[in-house]
């Protein structure tokens, strides 16, 4: 069964033809990606990882889960960027919108919290206060251990955990995912004897969700990582088979359309979901494409929205504003089925005589999902008529299997899209500029002179 469907019916015919002319080039790039001969080929281990090492990961993670010697009902993940966005995207996509009301965290169903990506006293203050009600397990995810935001967060939570559980027992509640041999977090792991898994070589953070980086926290919180990997593996196998036969694939076609839109000066991609649970999937997608493509003055700007909510905020701009964007819609054919321990029932609009004054009796009996489908169609047609093209990406059920397939789909498509522009999808040199300035301003000794010059520049610009 095809897990992912792609459609460009809301794209003008001339643009469709331009995209189709790119398909052969996209296919050759996909083959180079498979063969690790593309630009940045040494960082493409993720492409075959789900096939070669995935099963071993599941076995190792199950052993870790079964070996935990302390009770826990809350898993706190410390990480930033690719170290946490992927796991958060999966977890939130597969969790009830009102999870705290439907199924509060328990020993049978642990909760999952994510920190380490912002520097907020309120955030850590409220987290530490909230953790008093739970028995937390800490997962620190960092290849080096030296990134400021998560490392600071780990210090704060380590201090809290030692104060609560003691300097010996706290080590039973800390798990790390880090480099196999080097880095400060590996050294700390070895010193304290923390349980650990390895960040695989040849895989960047934003491509790491289907490795222990994403799989370990998801498994400890009770998510079905076997189904997640199965979806990714099946898409990998179909994709590899198709390109071996010289056939195009939805992931290639999506990448090609993105290049056509960029050539047409539609430089913003508005990635849209119809389900609030997918807002963190959008955040993962934004990092994947933004960090992979945004180099050398190239790349589409990745933005996101949830419809119909954002039709009441961004809809006016999309309809009548500057024509500089296109939309990509992510939908599921069966988004209202049962997930995990939550029973999603078909909720319809009831007939209530006392409220008939709202003049909405014509939707009585309609499921909310059916109304949502019409909102999608109405907005796509209206925006297309106003000169805003759109793409459709759809999957089957909103479940672990199809989320896994989507993750692999977008990883492949992102890599092909960047390579079509001659950009290395797997590095992020621009990120280092702010980091060096930040560390210099905070007083790192080896950056003293740079910090001095920065402070003079900041003062001359009127900042204090």
Please say whether the beta carbons of 84 and 147 come within 8 A.
no
Give the pLDDT band of residue 346 (cuts 50, 70, 90).
confident
Residues 28-41 have a mean pLDDT of 98
Say whether 327 is catalytic: no
Its CATH class, for the domain covering 4-41+228-420, is: alpha beta
Rounded Cα gap, residues 306 and 201, in angstroms: 35
**pLDDT digit string, tens, across residues 157-212:** 999 999 999 999 999 999 999 999 999 999 999 999 999 999 999 999 999 999 99
Q: What fold does the segment set 46-225 form as a domain?
A: Rossmann fold (3.40.50)
Q: Does pLDDT of 343 surpass 70?
A: no
Q: Does pLDDT of 123 surpass 50?
A: yes
> Catalytic pick from 253, 291, 293, 327?
291
**pLDDT digit string, tens, across residues 134-171:** 999 999 999 999 999 999 999 999 999 999 999 999 99
Say whether 18 is catalytic: no
As annotated, the residues of the chain forming the CATH 3.40.50.10490 domain(s) are 4-41+228-420, 46-225
Q: Does pLDDT of 252 surpass 80?
A: yes
Q: Does pLDDT of 342 surpass 60?
A: no
> Catalytic pick from 63, 65, 435, 457?
435
> Catalytic pick from 132, 312, 343, 449?
312
**pLDDT digit string, tens, across residues 206-231:** 999 999 999 999 999 999 999 999 99
Residues 390-399 have a mean pLDDT of 95
**212-245 CB burial, b ≥16 within 10 A, e <16:** bbbbbbbbbbbbbbbbbbbbbbbbbebbbebbee
Give the pLDDT band of residue 95 (cuts 50, 70, 90).
very high
Say whether 245 is catalytic: no
Give the pLDDT band of residue 434 (cuts 50, 70, 90).
confident
- The reported pLDDT for the residue numbered 2 is 56
- The reported pLDDT for the residue numbered 427 is 95
Rounded Cα gap, residues 430 and 148, in angstroms: 17
Please say whether the beta carbons of 398 and 332 come within 8 A.
yes
Rounded Cα gap, residues 268 and 277, in angstroms: 23
- The reported pLDDT for the residue numbered 337 is 46
pTM score? 0.94
Work out the angle at residue 267's Cα, subtended by the Cα atoms of residues 266 and 269, and round it to the nearest 5 degrees: 90
Please say whether the beta carbons of 367 and 299 come within 8 A.
no
Alpha helix stretches (DSSP H) within 95-146: 99-102, 121-131
């Amino acid at each position: 069964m095809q897990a992912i469907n792609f459609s460009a019916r809301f794209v003008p015919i001339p643009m469709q033809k331009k995209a189709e002319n790119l398909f052969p080039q996209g296919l050759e790039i996909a083959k180079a990606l498979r063969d690790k001969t593309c630009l940045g080929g040494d960082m493409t281990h993720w492409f075959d990882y789900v096939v070669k090492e995935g099963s071993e990961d599941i076995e190792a993670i199950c052993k870790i889960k079964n070996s935990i010697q302390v009770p826990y009902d809350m898993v706190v993940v410390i990480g930033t960027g690719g170290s946490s966005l992927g796991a958060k995207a999966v977890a939130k996509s597969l969790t009830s919108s009102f999870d705290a009301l439907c199924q509060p965290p328990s020993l049978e169903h642990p909760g999952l919290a994510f920190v380490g990506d912002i520097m907020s006293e309120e955030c850590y203050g409220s987290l530490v206060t909230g953790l008093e009600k739970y028995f937390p397990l800490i997962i620190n995810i960092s290849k080096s251990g030296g990134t400021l935001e998560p490392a600071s967060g780990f210090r704060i939570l380590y201090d809290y955990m030692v104060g609560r559980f003691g300097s010996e027992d706290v080590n039973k509640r800390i798990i790390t995912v880090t480099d196999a041999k080097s880095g400060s977090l590996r050294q700390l792991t070895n010193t304290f004897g923390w349980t650990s898994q390895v960040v695989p070589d040849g895989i960047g953070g934003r491509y790491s969700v289907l490795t222990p980086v994403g799989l370990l926290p998801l498994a400890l919180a009770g998510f079905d990582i076997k189904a997640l990997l199965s979806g990714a593996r099946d898409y990998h196998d179909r994709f590899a088979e198709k390109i071996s036969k010289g056939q195009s694939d939805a992931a290639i076609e999506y990448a090609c359309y993105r290049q056509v839109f960029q050539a047409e000066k539609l430089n913003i991609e508005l990635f849209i979901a119809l389900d609030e649970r997918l807002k963190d999937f959008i955040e993962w997608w934004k990092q994947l494409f933004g960090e992979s493509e945004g180099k050398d003055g190239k790349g589409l700007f990745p933005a996101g929205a949830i419809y119909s909510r954002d039709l009441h905020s961004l809809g006016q701009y999309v309809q009548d504003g500057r024509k500089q964007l296109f939309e990509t819609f992510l939908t599921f054919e069966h988004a209202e089925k049962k997930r995990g321990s939550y029973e999603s029932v078909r909720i319809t609009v009831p007939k209530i005589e006392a409220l008939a004054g709202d003049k909405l009796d014509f939707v009585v009996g309609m499921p909310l999902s059916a109304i949502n489908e019409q909102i999608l169609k109405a907005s796509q047609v209206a925006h297309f008529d106003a000169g805003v093209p759109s793409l459709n990406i759809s999957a089957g059920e909103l479940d672990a299997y199809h989320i896994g397939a989507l993750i692999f789909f977008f990883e492949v498509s992102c890599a092909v899209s960047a390579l079509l522009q001659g950009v290395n999808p797997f590095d992020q040199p621009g990120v280092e500029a702010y980091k060096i300035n930040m560390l210099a301003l905070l007083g790192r000794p080896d950056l003293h002179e740079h910090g001095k010059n920065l402070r003079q520049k900041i003062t001359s610009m009127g900042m204090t």
